[in-house]
Amino acid sequence: MKRVILPRRLRQACRRLHTERAGLALMEFALATPLIITVGGYGIELTNLAFTNMRVSQIALNLADHASRVGLTSTLTTTQLRESDINDILVAARIDGTPIKLTTYGRVTLSSLENVKQDWDTTAVQRIHWQRCIGLKRGAGFDSTYGTALPLATAGTEATAAQDGTDAPTGMGKTGAKVIAPNGMGVMFVEINYTYQPLFGSLFVAPQTIAYSASFIVRDRRDYSRVWNPSPAATKSTCDLYGA
């Protein structure tokens, strides 16, 4: 085989190139950057998803807790829950959810599950007496699967059999995790359904619905006859309304 002899200048250039290290770091960075961006972006997306789940869960717990405490104590030592009280705690949930635009991409439902004897009952009946909502999202997966149908959205606003809500003898919640109200008492049950907004579109995580529920037993001697609305009357946050 004939030996190929390169020109002297070319041989010198090849030797210099062989020992050149000035651009090595830049080349390594260029090759590694796509992998770093992909892994880093995926980690950021998963962290945001976990944080959003935690936030939605905490908002549900806080709302149920607040709903179990609010009301106006009357001279009869019972607490009257007013529409203005409900509006206040729903606004608090909206403010807590501002960073994730909770009421823009989700729906919040507050239900009063009661096991009491109303004036028209012969014995205590477990029923979803009333529901109040906030949020723009609607339809299956967002509106509550329990309680009053939309034509009866005003249930609980009057102390009448026509406004008594929906019977719920087995309670509320998923199968195997049902919540029931103690005899003579009520439970505040919260549902939140929210469409997660990925930071990088659907590149790492597909759009998905985050759903949480929470419940607290009412902490005081509440008047369960109705949701009160004294003058000046407050606007009712009934579940036939959709607003952020």
High-pLDDT (> 70) share of the chain, %: 86
CA distance 188 to 97: 19
**28 in helix, strand or coil?**
helix
pTM equals 0.84
pLDDT tens profile 195-240:
999 998 888 888 899 999 999 999 989 999 999 999 999 999 999 9
Which residues are paired to 222 by β-bridges? 79
For residue 150, give the amino acid letter.
L
186-195/106-116 β-pairing: antiparallel
For residue 200, give the amino acid letter.
F
CB 134 within 8 A of CB 108: yes
Provide the pLDDT confidence category of residue 33 given band limits of 50, 70 and 90.
confident
The answer, yes or no, to whether the previous bond of 7 is cis (omega within 30 of 0) is no
What are 71's two structure tokens? 């009301």
Who's near 132: CB < 8 A, 6+ residues apart? 86, 90, 109, 110, 236, 237, 238, 239
Which of 17-26, 97-106, 122-131, 147-156 is predicted least confidently? 17-26
pLDDT at 18 over 90: no
pLDDT tens profile 50-66:
999 999 999 999 999 99
pLDDT at 176 over 90: no
CA distance 37 to 18: 31
Average pLDDT across the chain, whole number? 88
Q: Residue 28: what are its φ and ψ, rounded to 5°?
A: -60, -40
High-pLDDT (> 90) share of the chain, %: 66
Q: How far is CA 126 from CA 33, 121, 160, 167, 169, in A?
A: 61, 11, 16, 6, 5
